[in-house]
Structure 1
């Protein structure tokens, strides 16, 4: 194995940890609540992780450009492992929520910096393959998370959901520490603390406002983000450099990544529910239907480099979005009489489209800048994908909840879970089928908006693959 091999292995382990911890807790709800209580607070166990990760992603991306990739990744992974230890020994639900927030702070470094290092290690022609590999690790880990979490919880071992991160994470840290070397030209500068605070406050306010339908919080968050953008124009070392927003190629990549996050979250949340409650599939079969999406994604991502090297990043992303539009129409045509295989076909086409868009947007953004700016743009792409998923969660939940309430089958959305366990729950099942159908219709709108967003990108553009003099990442001898 070449010297790049251990580095890539360390990046894969780091990516798997961050991806799995975003989903592994969902199936552990009963066991955790039984031990710690406070069921009403449990949603914050998921939200705290996601919000912290989203907020700190662009900050780490900027730090990686100033101080180098290796120290930032090691610091983020160490914070993540500290949060994992705290979560594993949590004595109350508030303590677990705080620990999850600490994990999210560390996870904010993992995905953008691993992708940035991959961009540093490989030339443009091979970058799509390594990005596809890391995307595959992310997708498979995210899908395995719920199964592993349920298995551990069933045997009363939910704390090991977090404690198992420690040996795996330490192994990743050792590989990166030993085998990754980089020479970085340190540039004088100060961390933009006020800008980071404005970004944190704005993102948290917008995301929590959307999830709770508190529009005053959303407006307050937008005002804070506007203040953040204004402030960033006047500081020497901004968290998100203003030049990013003036570049059509980068803006298109960011908006395309946001569309990926939104389109990804809808089938993740609602396809297993539809398969089980409407199509009558078992839990394992329903999970397999969604897992087909993780097959289409890496297959398409692995071949994306051939398309963007020949046709360009924008046209490759548009081809992926075309597949996504087709998949959303297929989802919308699902009926209670549809075979389970058809639902799997919908997921496969959707995954293939997501694979093309995600790789072309990421590698396209990285290729437009040199080493000294690659961390910032990679952090931007990942941030928009996470933010798109969070916004999509709120939007699709609002659509589904409104549809359920308008059906008259339930007086409140909380009744759905209990009603589905009853033998005479056909009215609720029909209402749920209609609600998921409306979610899939909304996916079509999101996919079309994604096409319009990517059209912002220029069709052809010279890349900026120079700029390696400031700092090169190389395998250790």
Structure 2
């Protein structure tokens, strides 16, 4: 998790420079969105795989794939190859995220799950201190390609470690009659639980949702008939197939897991849209050096980890749906700060600080929602719940960033000032965040 976090945090500050170098600034939303679209597919596959055979195998497959995709992105000769690399990286990230959450749900009692999630967050602190600023310096001194190649070399270490541990586990499972007898009992129990598990997800459904998300992201990157057709086609695929990957009642915020899944989508959509547009504002309008943008990501990662630690240690007696309300309140404040940061006379660090405030809110809301989803899940179906949460998170990101990109490009198409477009995007984010805060009580667990 430590090295994976290092890779994830270092990539984000380099994407605007990569898009500019490859003459694809207009497709920047697609570069960011393709990762999210592919996470849908990775999350569905990882969740089903984890429920059927444990979390180790999808985790191993995810980290190995991550190494390959970083090399593909580093070698990009066009913006479309970078999009492809980010898409495959999204598949890997979706598998890894769902596998980790499923492992926590399977291995820890409810009273320790919050601390386990907080520990995962603390693994990001040191990477957040070094990763983004170092990536900004490397991009400024050499090239963004060096960042991707270097991250591939670093990510290779956890990939080899996970694969080695998995192979050792297989050996242990085949040593002696006692182990075989234990495996037979476990397999018998799994067969008894088979009817309680979710049906095998159709691979074509997951692919259709990911394809629809990618088409929608491309559609909102321009303002003409061709882009409009892609956007409509992508939206149609999402409307038809996405509900099959979510619990019934998600769109109506039915109490329990459906409401929890919907809240994750709303919060994540708003947060990651802000995280995509603030660096773009700093790079293209304020001409802020990449190393300073990297520091904003550093501050956000530290804030998220610190907030997650606080909710697991100092606020663990709070009802979790109230932590969601508190988190959404901070995120509304962050959107307002980002909007103020578009005013030319306001210092650039104002917009950058909004990322830190938003991360404080997500550090409260995201772990609380994950714990609520696990508490609403029957035994043996944590992978299903984690997959639904990952799917909703990615759908939320696609929807919100898609609407934001459409508004942004529409204003640019009508000749409006670029800063007005950014202000409109940040104003839009207040809507899903406020809705999440109002619906939080419907996700209430047995706190």
Say yes or no: TM over 0.5.
yes
Partner of residue 296, structure 1: 303
Alignment of 1:10-409 (within 5 A): 11-14=1-4, 16-17=6-7, 26-29=16-19, 33=22, 48-84=34-70, 100-135=86-121, 137=123, 144=131, 148=135, 151=138, 154-155=141-142, 158=146, 160-161=149-150, 163-164=152-153, 165-175=155-165, 178=168, 185=187, 186-187=190-191, 195-213=202-220, 214=227, 216-217=229-230, 220-221=233-234, 224=237, 228=241, 248-275=255-282, 281-306=288-313, 309-334=316-341, 335-340=343-348, 342-408=350-416
Cα distance, 1:90–1:333 mapped onto 2, change above 3 Å: closer
Q: Which range moved further: 216-225 or 359-368?
A: 216-225
Aligned Cα RMSD in Å? 4.0
Q: Which range moved further: 433-442 or 127-136?
A: 127-136
Distance in structure 2 (CA, Å) of the matches to 1:64 and 1:160 = 30
Distance in structure 1 (CA, Å) of the matches to 2:73 and 2:242 = 35
Q: Which range moved further: 373-382 or 390-399?
A: 390-399
Q: Structure 2: 5+ residue runs without aligned partners?
A: 174-182, 221-226
Cα distance, 1:47–1:327 mapped onto 2, change above 3 Å: closer
Deviation by residue 1:394-432 (Cα, 9 ceiling, x = unmatched): 222222222333345xxxxxxxxxxxxxxxxxxxxxx22
Whose helix fraction is larger, Structure 1's or Structure 2's?
2
Q: Count residues in correspondence.
A: 418
Cα distance, 1:140–1:442 mapped onto 2, change above 3 Å: farther
Q: Structure 1: 5+ residue runs without aligned partners?
A: 1-10, 233-238, 409-430, 463-477
Distance in structure 2 (CA, Å) of the matches to 1:52 and 1:444 = 26
Partner of residue 429, structure 2: 443
Partner of residue 176, structure 2: none
Distance in structure 2 (CA, Å) of the matches to 1:341 and 1:149 = 16
Distance in structure 1 (CA, Å) of the matches to 2:352 and 2:78 = 40
Distance in structure 1 (CA, Å) of the matches to 2:437 and 2:378 = 27
Cα distance, 1:26–1:206 mapped onto 2, change above 3 Å: same
Q: Which range moved further: 103-112 or 134-143?
A: 134-143
What TM-score, normalized to structure 2? 0.76
**CA-CA distance at 1:366 after TM superposition:** 1.1
Cα distance, 1:325–1:434 mapped onto 2, change above 3 Å: same
